[in-house]
Structure 1
Amino acid sequence: MTQLNRIKSFCIATLAVLSLMSCSSASIEDYDKTTPVLDLQQFFAGKLTAAGIVQDFSGTVTRKFAVSMDASWQDNQGIIDERFIYDDGEKQTRIWHITDLGNGQYEGKANDILGIATGEAKGSALRWAYDMNLIVDESEYEVHFDDWMFLVDENTIINKSDIIKFGVTVAQVTLVIQKQP
């Protein structure tokens, strides 16, 4: 086999693998019949807490954090006030303004979100998509979040986010959110 044929074969194999990988990503439709059913207005009401980790592209935990949240709704408009405390002492606030558009569709805005976050809920899952200015080591990066929430029980959500830059997942965030009595 000539060098050119090897390169062509490699390119064809790489495209086939990438094509298969793109077909296998999860869809919100996969969760349509799952229970318990996530009602965002019911879950995100009152006081909540969360604990989470940030992992880099290799899976190494680079940060740990805790979050306290106050959430409220008036009709279809929600506010989720998040207060982060990281293991290095950094503190951060994010205040989400969520609109329930009906039929499991949501929009959200926050101070560091670029444009409008879009969300869709089916069964026990909610998938958010948004772009964000992320500050890392005093540098700012525009990244995309593929953000999934899964209702485990009436008091617990597991949240997993892929942080994507140039189409590549560069980090992941995982947190467990708990409703407080």
Structure 2
Amino acid sequence: MKILISLIFSLMILGCSSQNLDDYANSSPKFDVENYFKGPLQAQGIVLDRGGKVTRRFTVEMLGTWKDGQGKLEEWFVFDDGEKTTRTWQITKLKEGHYIGTAGDVVGEAIGESNGFALHWDYQLDLPVDGKEIQVTFDDWLYQVDNKVVINRSFITKWGFRVGEVILVITKK
């Protein structure tokens, strides 16, 4: 019985600790997605396993363009083991603060919403692991620190269980 009570209490605490986009409603600077992701950007990041151990490091060169609510974000990744990959996002602004995005390895559409200095994306991704592709869920949070820097923290889950995390610092050139 004590174990059951402890489990319920732990789940209640975890449920209370989840962030919500509305938590950032009155924060600044306001994340201007179209302006920030326009032009050249660069990023440095790490991939962590479910225990928090860094398993990979990488850099990304990015180039964003926007016209009439339609964005394109090209990304060129270089990993510490020499692997190179690319991703091209097509982003559509639906209304103020609401976006959808697609990319070659994204399953369906990514749903994005911004509020205050935060931007949140939810999407499924085909992630290459040991020569196979595994579909995972990305819970992607971006925080605009100032007009040059965004910090991106992505939680990666499979079947509702956290399997990894990505932390990325994006800098506008």
Instruction: Flag whether TM exceeds 0.5 (same fold).
Output: yes
Map 1:7-18 → 2, pairs under 5 A: 8-18=1-11
Residue 122 of structure 1 deviates from its aligned partner by 0.4
Following superposition of structure 1 onto structure 2, how do residues 82-121 of structure 1 map, counting pairs within 5 Å?
82-121=75-114
Q: Say if 2:46 is the partner of 1:48.
A: no
Task: Classify the secondary structure of the residue corresponding to 1:153.
Answer: coil
User: Per-residue deviation at 1:43?
Assistant: 0.2
State the Cα distance separating 1:10 from its structure 2 match. Answer: 1.5
State how far apart, in whole Å, the 1-side matches of 2:134 and 2:50 are. Answer: 16
Pick one of 153, 156, 160 that aligns with 1:163: 156
Name the counterpart of 1:126: 119
Please, which runs of 5 or more residues in structure 2 have no aligned partner?
none
Q: Which stretch of structure 1 is more off in the superposition, 16-25 or 139-148?
A: 16-25
If the length of structure 2 is used for normalisation, what is the TM-score?
Answer: 0.97
Which residue, 127, 131, 140 being the options, matches 1:138?
A: 131
User: TM-score with structure 1 length normalisation?
Assistant: 0.93
* Counterpart-to-counterpart distance in 2, 1:154 and 1:109: 25
- In structure 2, the residue matched to 1:4 is none
> Which of the pair has more CA radius of gyration?
1
Task: Give the Cα separation in 2 of the matches to 1:107 and 1:91.
Answer: 26
- Give the aligned residue type for 2:157: I
Q: CA deviation at 1:24?
A: 1.9
Segments of 5+ residues of structure 1 without an aligned counterpart are 1-7
Q: Tell me how far apart the structure 2 counterparts of residues 10 and 170 of structure 1 sit (CA, whole Å).
A: 25
Percentage identity across aligned positions? 45
Counterpart residue type for residue 106 of structure 1: Y
